[in-house]
């Protein structure tokens, strides 16, 4: 089945650091990928839609200058958390879908746990 | 996207069938019903999806009512590994296939 790989799985860094998270579709092409954030004991919240070759679409309340998204190829999207602070600590998850088939489900990566000290 | 309503939690006995209900009374004709589950500290795992007809795969069965306003996910023989939060989501291509996660149902499978 479709596989989405996320890297790294765990990051601990100092406040003020920028952190890049990669999301790859391993066996299919994904013109669109999605980035979610999940705080403890809460559900997943969609942050942005990543479009290959164009600008990402951000959900209301998500700062586009803080969460930089680049989708340079059909199999890779990156999320960069710029100047991260402790309140950015969260579980970040990406998803992707094989857009060659209508109605096919999105598949999720295993997430990246970000801890800012 | 149409909203869904699920029970907050439910317990199931190991080895028995688990029936998870979901209401989506405002679903439109071209919206699919998707089910995912999330085991602690992992990304959501796709289970099954459907449009109108009932569906079955190696993980579960999906029963959609004729009016499409509700559905039931059936885990035929629950195991301890099925303990997770189960999400019922409706989504349509016109909305970019965004998945809006609600609170889901926290399922605890007990020995």
Residue A36 is encoded by which pair of tokens?
């979610």
Write the DSSP assignment of A37-94 as a string of letters.
EE-TTS--EEEEEEETTS--EEPTT--TTTEEEEEEETTEEEEEETT--GGG-EEEEE
* Class of residue A101 by CB neighbours under 10 A (exposed 0-12, middle 13-18, buried 19+): exposed
Residues 6+ apart with CB under 8 A from B108: B9, B10, B11, B12, B83
Percentage, residues of chain B above pLDDT 90: 82
pLDDT at A92 (0 to 100)? 98
Cα B78 to Cα B60: distance, rounded to the nearest angstrom: 10
Beta bridge partners of residue A12, listed in sequence order: A115
- Residue B3 pLDDT > 90: no
Alpha carbon separation from B75 to A29, B18, B109 (Å, rounded): 31, 5, 11
Residues of A in contact with B99 (CB under 8 A): 34, 46, 95, 106
CB–CB of A102 and B96 under 8 A? no
- Lowest mean pLDDT, pick from A52-66, A85-99, B62-76, B85-99: B85-99
CA A9 to chain centre: 12
Chain A residues touching chain B at CB-CB below 8 Å? 4, 6, 32, 34, 36, 43-46, 49, 57, 91, 93, 95, 97, 102-103, 105-111, 113
Identify which of B3, B46, B95 has the alpha carbon closest to the alpha carbon of residue A96: B46
Residue B100 is encoded by which pair of tokens?
């809006």
Cα B106 to Cα B109: distance, rounded to the nearest angstrom: 10
Cα A10 to Cα A31: distance, rounded to the nearest angstrom: 26
CA angle (A65, B43, B108) in 5-degree steps: 135
pLDDT tens track for B68-85: 999 999 999 999 999 999
- Residue B65 pLDDT > 70: yes
- Lowest mean pLDDT, pick from A28-32, A60-64, A79-83, B75-79: A28-32
Mean pLDDT across chain B: 93
């Amino acid at each position: 089945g479709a596989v989405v790989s996320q890297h790294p799985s765990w990051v601990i860094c100092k406040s003020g650091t920028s952190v890049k998270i990669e999301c790859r579709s391993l066996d299919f092409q994904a013109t669109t990928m999605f980035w979610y954030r999940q705080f403890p004991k809460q559900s997943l919240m969609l942050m942005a839609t990543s479009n290959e070759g164009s600008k990402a679409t951000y959900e209301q309340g998500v700062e586009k200058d803080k969460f930089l998204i680049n989708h340079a190829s059909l199999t890779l999207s990156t999320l960069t958390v710029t100047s991260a602070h402790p309140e950015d600590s969260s579980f970040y998850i990406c998803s992707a879908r094989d857009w060659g088939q209508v109605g096919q489900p999105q598949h999720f990566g295993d997430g990246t746990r970000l801890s800012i000290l | 996207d149409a909203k869904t309503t699920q029970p907050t939690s439910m317990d199931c006995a190991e080895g028995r069938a688990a029936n998870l209900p979901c209401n989506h009374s405002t679903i439109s004709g071209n919206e699919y019903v998707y089910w995912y589950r999330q085991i602690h500290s992992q990304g959501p795992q796709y289970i099954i999806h459907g449009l109108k007809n009932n569906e079955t795969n190696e993980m579960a069965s999906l029963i959609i009512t004729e009016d499409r306003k509700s559905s039931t996910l059936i885990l035929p023989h629950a195991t301890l590994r099925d303990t997770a939060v189960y999400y019922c989501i409706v989504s349509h291509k016109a909305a970019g296939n965004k998945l809006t996660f609600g609170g889901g149902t926290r399922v605890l499978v007990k020995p």
